[in-house]
Amino acid sequence: MMPIEIGTVLYAGAIGLVVIGIAGIVLSHHLFRIILALVIAEAGANLLLVLSGFRWDAIAPIITGGAAAPTMVDPVPQAMVLTSIVIGVGVQALALSLMLRAYGAYKTLDIRELQRRMSADLAGEAGTPLPQSLEEPVGGRPLPAAGGDGR
């Protein structure tokens, strides 16, 4: 009974971490927070991967003195998680350095502001009008000229 409950808690924790991370990526506006949210989501995915090969009644998969123990934890997911942690760290370092470069160019860490300036930059270079924002409708409102401001 008990181990099952711990297992459930751990699975819920892993999925919860992924959800927290994705929510952070979607909802945050500060670039550094977004990258931290990515770290959290990756931790959740890694935990899920470790759990997929874990057994509560088993020992670490190390063969000592010739004979193997009857039940051992599956070592494959652990090797995979090690790999994915290393990859994750590399990607995060790259993200941080790109963030610094972007900050150097636009002096902002707000992702909305960054995207606005980037679009303005690209549109300016291409000589096209700014892409319209969905939040600000274009064109004036068809209001009567007299007293239109008050409504």
Partner 1 sequence: MNTIVLTVVLPLLAAFIVPVLSRVSPLLGRLLGPLTLAYAILLTLQVWLGMEGKPFSIALGGFQPPLGINFYVDRLSLLFTFLTLVTSLLLWPWRNETEPRQYALTLLLAASACGLALSGDLFNIYVFYELISVASFGLAAATRSGAAFAASLRYLILSGLGSVLVLCGIAIVYLQTGTLNLAQLSQLAPETLNTPLGLSAFALILLGIGVKGELFPVNSWVPEVYAAASGRVSGLLAGLVSKLAVLVIVRLLVLLFQQESALHLMLILGLLGAITGELAAWRAKDMNRMLAFSSIGQLGVIFIAFSIPGETGLFAGLALSLHHLLVKPALFLLAERWWGSLAGLRGAGLASPVAGGLFVLLALSLVGMPPLPGFWAKFLLFTGLAAQSAVIYQVAIGVVLLSIVIEANYLFRVVMDLFQPAEDDRATVVDGHGWLNLGTTFLLSALLIAGMLLMGPLGAWLEGVAMQAADPVLYFDTVFSVSAIH
41 binds partner 1 (CB under 8 A): yes
Half-sphere exposure in the Cβ direction for 112 (13 Å, CA): 6
Round to whole Å and give the CA distance between 99 and 109: 8
Looking from the CA of 66 toward its CB, the CA atoms found within 13 Å total 0
Stretch that binds partner 1, among 1-9, 36-44, 56-64, 139-147 (CB under 8 A): 36-44
Give the single-character DSSP code of 18: H
- Closest separation between CB of residue 140 and partner 1, Å? 21
Asked if residue 83 lies in contact with residue 89, where contact means CB atoms within 8 angstroms, the answer is no
Among 20, 25, 36, 58, binds partner 1 (CB under 8 A): 25
With CB under 8 A as the contact rule, the residue among 20, 33, 52, 72 that binds partner 1 is 52
| Cβ burial 7-18 (10 Å sphere, 16+ → b, else e) | eeeeeeebeebb
* Binding interface with partner 1 (CB under 8 A): 18, 21-22, 25, 31, 34-35, 38, 41-42, 44-46, 48-49, 51-53, 74, 76-77, 80, 83-84, 87, 90-91, 94-95, 98-99, 101-102, 104-106, 111, 114-115, 117-119, 121-123, 125-129
